[in-house]
Structure 1
């Protein structure tokens, strides 16, 4: 999911990470549910999270799911502002999304993009509040609550781990429009990522 505001500094995880290629819509890993993480506290899991943070920063993203770097594990990272400008940075393993009850939830239509659909943005309805329960990389329980744009990010990234992208929430006509946008703009996006990678990646 693309970021909205320029971040002043890289998170420490990104400083330790290596850049990985971002998967693109149509690749099979994006269209199937990811596997639960069962091994916590491992160097491999820590390295994956660090790499995802750097990759997200290079791609100028607000969130990134593991299958977006070709790894089918239930994990995402985020560096995302909410609607009050508060920056939220972290990761969550094996997330479970909780939305408000239908009677109390408010749907907001706002433009949404995806690092795996480079260059395209479309309006997508999402609830204005969301909670994710899961674990950190060491297996400690986490509860993450989001409002506004951060709530959208939590919903977007959890969708990825279920094998869905925001394109699946669009009408056939809007999906076609998004794919056309991607075809027209993806080379510019890839060039921008390459330039940013040259500045940030090891």
Structure 2
């Protein structure tokens, strides 16, 4: 396994639409998933999309750490979602503070759907689907955006709530993080 270099905001790989994974069970994809999990864990992240590691494929990994879990949104070990499709459930929007491994040190308040349905393939290439709320819904939407060339500041409606993580914590400017 290997740590992968994470692309930072400004790199063109983060702005394009990723292409579907043709063979989700190939050894190269399995190795990529393992390397991405190791990279995400090393960077203390909760998600990482393939474009963030300079590979423009429709694949991301995610986790729900114990500290971010809640009732109805239990902890989850790291897993992958390959060729994902996300569909909002209802009209409820939640505004929560997000960070991104491609925008280190920054956080911003982002409106997201409170509930989403997800479909795709897991890390073994098996079909998976379900509904997500809470932190999991946020992570899935954030990572799925990376597959379409969207970074979280592009979703923000109030740029006054974008800032350095340390400053926002110092002055209590986070929202529902």
Match of 1:189 in 2: none
Which of residues 66, 70, 83 in structure 2 aligns to 1:83?
Answer: 70
The SS at the match of 2:149 is coil
1:94 corresponds to which of 83, 95, 113: 83
Select 2:20's aligned residue among 21, 36, 59. Answer: 36
Q: Which runs of 4+ in 1 moved over 3 A?
A: 171-175
Larger helix percent: 1
More strand by share: 2
Residues 1:49 and 2:38 aligned together: no
Q: Which structure 2 residue ranges, 5 or more long, are not aligned?
A: 168-177
Q: Conserved in 1, the CA contact under 8 Å of 2:112 and 2:138? A: yes
Give 2:93's match in structure 1, choosing from 107, 115, 119.
107
Superposed counterparts of 1:3-152, under 5 Å: 17-81=1-65, 82-84=69-71, 86-89=74-77, 90-100=79-89, 104-152=90-138
Number of corresponding residues: 161
Return the alpha-carbon distance in structure 2 between the equivalents of residues 18 and 169 of structure 1.
32
Secondary structure (helix, strand or coil) at the match of 1:149 reads helix
What TM-score, normalized to structure 1?
Answer: 0.73
Q: Aligned Cα RMSD in Å?
A: 2.0
Of the structure 1 ranges 119-128 and 22-31, higher mean CA displacement relative to structure 2 is found in 119-128
TM-score, structure 2 normalization: 0.83
